[in-house]
Structure 1
Amino acid sequence: MTIKEILEKYRKVAVIGFSDNPSRDSHSIALYLKKYGFTVYGVNPKLGGKIVEGINCYKTLAEIPDEVEIIDIFRLPIAVLPIVREAMKLNYKPPVIWTQFGIINDDARKLALENGFEYVENRCILVEHSKIK
C-alpha cells in the first residue's frame, strides 16, 4: 500500500508521544491532522484523561475506546519496539504503524512487517499528507 493510499483510506490516528506543548512537533502535527478531518487521539502517560485543544488523551494505546488505524510514533527509536508489541496485544489490529523523521528501528520494523502491519518509517505524516491534500 502506498503512503497516498494509507492517508486516503485510514482516518483514525493515535499520536504516541503527543505533547500539550505547542512548540513540539507531536502537538502541531496532531492539530494539523485534526484540521484535515482525521480523528486524532493523543497518547502520553502524563496527559491521560485530559483534552488538549480538542484532542482526547490517553495513557496507553489500549485505553483508546476506538479502533485506531494509524499509530503515529513521536518517540525515540529505542521506544518503537515496545510500541509495536503493545499494538500486537490490542483486541484489534491497527493497519499502520508510522514513525516520524529520524525514528528508525530495524527490529521494530521487522516485527511489524512479520505480523502484517503496514510500516512507514522515517517519514513525516504532515509532509506526506500535504503532498496529496
Structure 2
Amino acid sequence: MSTLPAAQRIAHILQHCRTIAVVGLSSKPDRASFDVSRYMQARGYRIIPVNPNESEVLGEKAYASLSDAAAHERIDLVNCFRNSEDIPPIVDEAIAIGAQAVWMQLGVAHAGAAAKAEAAGLKVVQDHCLKIDHRVMRSQGLI
C-alpha cells in the first residue's frame, strides 16, 4: 500500500485532480452520488458522470463507461459509487485511461484492486467520502 500518509494523499488528490469521473452518478437528488458531485462541482471541480442509465447529470453529458468518457474528456480522478465487488474492472479502466487517482466512497473498499492501482502509480483512497474529506481539508487550510 501507499507509503504516503492518508491525509497527505487526500490533500494531494484534492489539489491536483480537478476533473472527476463519477462512476455510478445518479440524477436523483436524494442519492449520495448526486449530493457529493453537486458539492464538488460547486467548488470548481469538473464532474463527468459515468452511468449507462443516464444521459445528463448536473448539466454534464453522461457516459456509459470510463473508456467512453476518456475518449472525450481528460479524467484525473475516478470516484466510485459502486459496490466493492464492482471495483476491479473500474480500476482496470482507470489505469487504462491514465487517471491519477481512484477514490472509493464510504463503505467501498477492495484491497486487491487498490494494490493493483497503486502498483500502476495511481493514488488510492478507500472507504472515505470525498465531500467530507474536502470539507475537513478546507477547514484545516490544507487545500
TM-score (norm 2): 0.86
2:50 partner letter:
V
- The SS at the match of 1:128 is helix
Distance in 1, Cα, partners of 2:96 & 2:134: 28
Aligned to 1:40: 47
Matching of residue 56 in structure 1 with residue 64 in structure 2: no
Aligned to 2:137: 132
- Gap runs ≥5 in structure 2: 139-143
Matching of residue 94 in structure 1 with residue 99 in structure 2: yes
Aligned to 2:77: 70
Tell me by how many angstroms 1:4 deviates.
1.2
Q: How many aligned residue pairs are there?
A: 129
Q: Is residue 19–residue 75 contact of structure 2 (8 Å, CA) maintained in 1?
A: yes
Aligned to 1:9: 16
- Give CA deviations for 1:8-57 in whole Å, capped at 9, x if unaligned: 1211000000001111100111111110000001100111xx22231321
Aligned to 2:141: none
Aligned to 1:27: 34
Distance in 1, Cα, partners of 2:94 & 2:57: 23
Distance in 1, Cα, partners of 2:119 & 2:68: 25
Q: Runs of 4+ in structure 1 displaced over 4 angstroms?
A: none
Distance in 1, Cα, partners of 2:86 & 2:51: 13
2:58 partner letter:
E
Higher helix proportion (structure 1 or 2): 2
Distance in 1, Cα, partners of 2:61 & 2:45: 13
Distance in 1, Cα, partners of 2:60 & 2:30: 16
**1:105-120 matched pairs, under 5 angstroms:** 105-120=110-125
- Give CA deviations for 1:60-90 in whole Å, capped at 9, x if unaligned: 1111211110100000000001101112222
Aligned-residue RMSD, C-alpha: 1.1
TM-score (norm 1): 0.92
- Gap runs ≥5 in structure 1: none
Tell me by how many angstroms 1:110 deviates.
1.2
Q: Percent identity?
A: 28
